[in-house]
């Protein structure tokens, strides 16, 4: 199908703004904390940053369906199965809103899909960890969706309109995701010693990777400053990580799980919890594609994409037929079986 947004593809290049009025208007909008919309002039670097961030975010939602989708057939009850199915479907929806938002910047969806299935696009490293136990459904909801909320609530105010608006709905759903994960762990912690142990063991595995979801420490995150200047990002990686830890500690107390960090303690002076160093060497390994499930995730996504080719072909054929029928309406009529007949 033809790309519906070809006119946006070259917008934002320097030669599109010979008198500098586009840049001035952009700077005014950012300074006033107003929104940039798809038809506005924007600097090429702003567009590129957004395409990268939004498409990586979309890919994360789509790949993120796998570690949980893996448990749908094995959920311990009908209720758990329907909750998990709804949650995984939400993640598919998040991916689709975000691909749509990225498309408004002039990058078509096929290009983004291609980058994902050929392994050239990045997505959140957290989804390269495996889910060997049912308790992992609890830990993912509580910790992974919990970290996602901390990260994403400020993105509802991102300067790029379509991204910020997509995030509003996504955040509402993420908050349900976090609560359902918390509730899975709570039920396990109220269960037998074996269930409690399963919950604790799972939290032990997911805690540090969830903290790493905020990205490297501020000192090692050179692009963050520019994103903050453009009002895409509102808080630094370390600020968000701190906010997340402060939120988790009281919740862990209610659950009765121990967070696996011996350095975790309240700092009266700072008014925040102190926490230990994270293993950034592990983060780099997973990011470089050497995590426990990187190869499986991309291969699975590629197979799903290839298996879906007949659906795309059918949708294309249907759309083409509709367009043909619409353009022929003036000179022909359509009979009850959809065939065109001369009028």
Which residues contact Fe ion by CB under 5 A? 61, 91, 94, 145, 174, 177
Q: What's the closest the beta carbon of residue 170 comes to Fe ion, in angstroms?
A: 6
Question: Rounded to the nearest 5°, which phi and psi values hold at 4?
Answer: -75, -5
Question: Nearer to Fe ion by C-beta: 179 or 272?
Answer: 179
Q: What's the closest the beta carbon of residue 127 comes to Fe ion, in angstroms?
A: 11
Q: What's the closest the beta carbon of residue 55 comes to Fe ion, in angstroms?
A: 15
Question: Nearer to Fe ion by C-beta: 17 or 90?
Answer: 90
Question: Nearer to Fe ion by C-beta: 13 or 82?
Answer: 82
Closest among 142, 138, 278 to 215, alpha carbons compared: 278
Question: Nearer to Fe ion by C-beta: 60 or 196?
Answer: 60
Site of tokens 């399963």: 198
Q: What's the closest the beta carbon of residue 91 comes to Fe ion, in angstroms?
A: 5
Q: What's the closest the beta carbon of residue 94 comes to Fe ion, in angstroms?
A: 4
CB 142, CB 182: distance < 8 Å: yes
Question: Nearer to Fe ion by C-beta: 89 or 329?
Answer: 89
Residue 121: CB partners within 8 Å, gap ≥ 6?
55, 56, 59, 112, 115
Q: What's the closest the beta carbon of residue 115 comes to Fe ion, in angstroms?
A: 19
Question: Nearer to Fe ion by C-beta: 91 or 108?
Answer: 91
State the Cα–Cα distance between residues 92 and 87, nearest whole angstrom: 9
Closest among 217, 238, 89, 227 to 150, alpha carbons compared: 238
Exposed e or buried b for every residue in 155-187, given b needs 16+ CB within 10 A? bbebbbbbbbebbeebbebbeebbebbbbbbbe
């Amino acid at each position: 199908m033809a790309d519906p947004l070809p006119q946006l593809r070259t917008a934002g290049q320097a030669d599109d703004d010979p008198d500098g009025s586009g840049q001035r208007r952009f700077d005014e909008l950012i300074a006033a904390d107003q929104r940039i919309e798809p038809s506005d002039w924007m600097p090429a670097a702003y567009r590129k940053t957004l395409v990268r961030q939004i498409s990586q975010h979309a890919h994360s939602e789509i790949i993120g369906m796998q570690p949980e989708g893996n448990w749908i057939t094995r959920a311990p009850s009908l209720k758990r199965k329907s909750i998990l199915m709804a949650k995984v479907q939400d993640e598919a929806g998040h991916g689709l809103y975000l691909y749509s938002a990225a498309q408004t910047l002039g990058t078509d969806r096929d290009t983004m899909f291609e980058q994902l299935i050929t392994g050239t696009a990045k997505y959140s490293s957290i989804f390269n960890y495996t889910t060997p136990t049912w308790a992992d459904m609890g830990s993912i909801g509580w910790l992974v969706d919990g970290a996602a909320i901390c990260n994403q609530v400020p993105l509802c105010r991102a300067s790029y309109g379509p991204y910020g608006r997509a995030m509003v709905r996504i955040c509402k759903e993420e908050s349900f995701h976090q609560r359902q994960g918390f509730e899975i762990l709570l039920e396990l912690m109220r269960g037998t010693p074996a269930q409690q142990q399963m919950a604790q063991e799972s939290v032990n595995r997911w805690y540090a990777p969830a903290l790493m979801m905020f990205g490297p420490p501020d000192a090692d995150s050179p692009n963050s400053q520019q994103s903050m200047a453009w009002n895409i990002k509102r808080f630094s990686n370390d600020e968000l990580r701190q906010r997340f830890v402060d939120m988790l500690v009281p919740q862990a107390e209610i659950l009765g799980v121990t967070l696996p960090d011996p350095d975790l303690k309240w700092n009266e002076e700072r008014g925040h919890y102190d926490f230990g160093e994270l293993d950034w060497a592990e983060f780099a390994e997973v990011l470089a594609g050497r995590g426990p499930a990187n190869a499986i995730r991309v291969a699975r996504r590629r197979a799903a994409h290839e298996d879906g080719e007949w659906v795309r072909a059918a949708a294309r054929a249907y759309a083409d037929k509709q367009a043909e029928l619409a353009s022929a309406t003036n000179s022909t009529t359509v009979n009850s079986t959809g065939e065109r007949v001369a009028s």
